[in-house]
A and B are shown apart, each in its own frame.
Chain A
Amino acid sequence: MSKREDDRCGRKLKTEAEVCMNPDSSVIAAFKVFQQELDTKHDKHERLVKISRDVTIESKRTIFLLHRVTSVPDVEEILTEADVKLDAVRQKIGQIAEELKGEDLHQFHRAFTPGIQEYVEAVSFHHFIRHRTLISLEEINARLVFMRENKGEGEVACVLTFQITPTDYLLGVADLTGELMRMCISSVGNGDIDTPFQLSGFLRQIHDGFSYIGNTGPYEVSKKLHTLRQSLGKVEDACYTLRVRGSEIPKHMLVDVFTSRAATHLDPDEPMV
């Protein structure tokens, strides 16, 4: 509103408006309550977004660390190191659980879902490298139980739990497939012939699972299904090349074959399954 319009509204109105805008009016009093309520909510939301970002960063670092298993002799050492990192991430998730104490998880879900998905990705990657199986939702949730000592009187320790929603789990697993694809290609690069075949079998199982859920799942799942198909295609192609050419090409040259093949498959227009 321009100033001119403000002026022409008439002086009489101004005084009237001032009268009813005394801070004691019930409307203003009510809005002061709303102000507090909204601020509290927004603050909590912001705090959760911040923690979620920390969770994402740490989880990503863990994934990078885990990718080194293809190039080092001592796998166990890396797994232990990753576990330490993941413990730190779990502490962060504990903070989320604390913020959500007594709240509706779904009210703030949007604030922390990216971090949680990344955590699922990291923890399932870790689990896969160690056990070659898919970690279940219960197994993940079982590790998200936190003990908190009440600082107040009584000293009663309370148990906080964080429940990852099946949707977040699903989306995390969908991201996991991308990591597995990367792992497959790099393990071929290191002359590991068995891992790609294991991986392609596992990826196919996951792919079948996602196809089973199909479009009934949330919108994001269908989006990730596309990427999953691409990853699966790359891994299947790699296995094919291994089988066909594996016998004729020396191991150190296979690397070159794969780097060039992987490059051609980055083409998004590639026809799907």
Chain B
Amino acid sequence: MSVTEMFSYIQGFLSADQDIREDIRKVVQVLEQTAREILTVLQSVHQPSGFKDIPSKCLKARELFCTVRNHTGELKTKFPVEQYYRYHEHWRFVLQRLAFLAAFVVYLESESLVTREDVAEILGIEVNREKGFHLDVEDYLAGVLILASELSRLAVNSVTAGDYVRPLRISNFINELDYGFRLLNLKNDPLRKRYDGLKYDLKKIEEVVYDLSIRGLAKELEAGGDK
């Protein structure tokens, strides 16, 4: 094989690769758009009025996740499934956002941590690499960490809206998350950097809880609830 032939073979490979990436980028763009729409819907829970109709917001978000499932279904067809990690960086970011949004919806509905299986189901993808287009565990964890900072914000805003009990529940939740993350041996990678931010979220919530308890606001309300 001559040098020229060799190079044109490689050029062919490279341009095929570029085409696939181009296709993926297009689908990912649509996914990002949908993710932003869901975020807009869910952001309104921070409004004082938003606290009252959380269930309806969640329903609306759930509807939008149907669209997400369509797009992820399309994304799967754009490349050979065993080459997931070759193109991983293209959807890594949006998948983390979507994992966060799914986790946020589930938290608002049941105040519990979404499992990886549930996120995968909501997004219409798999958990295991062997089964096809899947949710990488690091992406799931990154999504959970975004949830933590969103919840620290929610704690602040729920106080503003007059709900003094929610911050306590959020505090417990985040504490448990922090405990869970401390079990992981993270390398010096993006996930680790994200995790380093968790302590600030924790601190913020603890300050809210502190403010509430030193003024007896949390107690007062709990006592009221007990009666």
The reply to whether B210 and A210 form a contact with Cβ atoms under 8 Å apart is no
Give B114-138 interface residues, CB cut-off 8 Å to A. Answer: 115-116, 129, 137-138
The reply to whether A104 and B172 form a contact with Cβ atoms under 8 Å apart is no
The reply to whether B181 and A31 form a contact with Cβ atoms under 8 Å apart is yes
The reply to whether A21 and B185 form a contact with Cβ atoms under 8 Å apart is no
A273 at the A/B interface (Cβ < 8 Å)? no
Query: Per DSSP, are chain A's interface residues mostly helix, strand or loop, or mixed?
Result: helix
For the complex formed, measure the closest distance between the CB of B128 and the CB atoms of chain A, giving whole angstroms.
Answer: 11
For the complex formed, measure the closest distance between the CB of A25 and the CB atoms of chain B, giving whole angstroms.
Answer: 7
**Of B3, B14, B183, which one neighbours A31 at CB under 8 angstroms?**
B183
How many A-B Cβ pairs are below 8 Å? 130
A112 at the A/B interface (Cβ < 8 Å)? no
Scan A1-42; emit 1 where CB is below 8 A from any B CB, else 0.
100010011101100110011000111101110110111001
* A204 CA / B9 CA spacing, docked (Å): 18
The reply to whether B175 and A21 form a contact with Cβ atoms under 8 Å apart is yes
For the complex formed, measure the closest distance between the CB of A200 and the CB atoms of chain B, giving whole angstroms.
Answer: 14
* A195 CA / B199 CA spacing, docked (Å): 64
For the complex formed, measure the closest distance between the CB of B178 and the CB atoms of chain A, giving whole angstroms.
Answer: 9
Which residues from B are CB-within-8-Å of A27?
113, 176-177, 180
* A107 CA / B112 CA spacing, docked (Å): 31
Give B189-227 interface residues, CB cut-off 8 Å to A. Answer: 199, 202-203, 206-207, 209-210, 213
B88 at the A/B interface (Cβ < 8 Å)? yes
For the complex formed, measure the closest distance between the CB of A44 and the CB atoms of chain B, giving whole angstroms.
Answer: 12
A166 at the A/B interface (Cβ < 8 Å)? yes
The reply to whether B10 and A206 form a contact with Cβ atoms under 8 Å apart is no
A209 at the A/B interface (Cβ < 8 Å)? yes
Q: Residue on B with the closest CB to A12?
A: B213
In the complex where A39-B185, A106-B86, A213-B10 touch, is A9 in contact with B209 (Cβ < 8 A)?
Answer: yes
Which residues from A are CB-within-8-Å of B84?
104, 106-107
A136 at the A/B interface (Cβ < 8 Å)? yes
The reply to whether A5 and B203 form a contact with Cβ atoms under 8 Å apart is yes
Give B1-17 interface residues, CB cut-off 8 Å to A. Answer: 1-4, 6-11, 13-15
In the complex where A20-B172, A28-B179, A166-B10 touch, is A106 in contact with B186 (Cβ < 8 A)?
Answer: no
In the complex where A31-B183, A42-B185 touch, is A21 in contact with B10 (Cβ < 8 A)?
Answer: no
* A145 CA / B88 CA spacing, docked (Å): 28
A216 at the A/B interface (Cβ < 8 Å)? yes
B82 at the A/B interface (Cβ < 8 Å)? yes
Question: Size of chain B's interface in residues, with CB distance under 8 A?
Answer: 49
The reply to whether A136 and B1 form a contact with Cβ atoms under 8 Å apart is yes
Scan A200-215; emit 1 where CB is below 8 A from any B CB, else 0.
0010011011101100
* A217 CA / B7 CA spacing, docked (Å): 11
Scan A211-226; emit 1 where CB is below 8 A from any B CB, else 0.
0110011100000000
B165 at the A/B interface (Cβ < 8 Å)? no
Which residues from A are CB-within-8-Å of B185?
35, 38-39, 42
**Of B4, B175, B176, B184, which one neighbours A205 at CB under 8 angstroms?**
B4
B77 at the A/B interface (Cβ < 8 Å)? no
Scan A82-105; emit 1 where CB is below 8 A from any B CB, else 0.
000000000000000000000011
The reply to whether A216 and B6 form a contact with Cβ atoms under 8 Å apart is no
B171 at the A/B interface (Cβ < 8 Å)? yes
Q: Residue on A with the closest CB to B177?
A: A27
For the complex formed, measure the closest distance between the CB of A129 and the CB atoms of chain B, giving whole angstroms.
Answer: 16
Can you list 30 pairs linking A and B with CB atoms under 8 Å apart?
A: A5-B203, A10-B210, A13-B168, A13-B172, A16-B172, A21-B179, A27-B113, A27-B176, A27-B180, A28-B179, A28-B183, A30-B115, A31-B184, A35-B184, A38-B137, A38-B185, A38-B186, A39-B185, A106-B83, A106-B88, A107-B84, A134-B6, A166-B9, A170-B10, A205-B3, A208-B4, A209-B3, A209-B7, A213-B11, A216-B14
Q: B residues within 8 Å of A by Cβ? A: 1-4, 6-11, 13-15, 18, 82-86, 88, 113, 115-116, 129, 137-138, 141, 168, 171-172, 175-177, 179-181, 183-187, 199, 202-203, 206-207, 209-210, 213
What 17 new A-B contacts, CB under 8 Å, besides A25-B176, A210-B7, A213-B10? Answer: A26-B113, A27-B176, A28-B176, A28-B183, A34-B183, A34-B184, A38-B137, A38-B138, A38-B186, A104-B82, A107-B84, A134-B6, A137-B9, A205-B4, A206-B3, A216-B14, A216-B15
Chain A to chain B: the 3 pairs with minimum beta-carbon distance, closest first: A209-B7, A31-B180, A107-B85
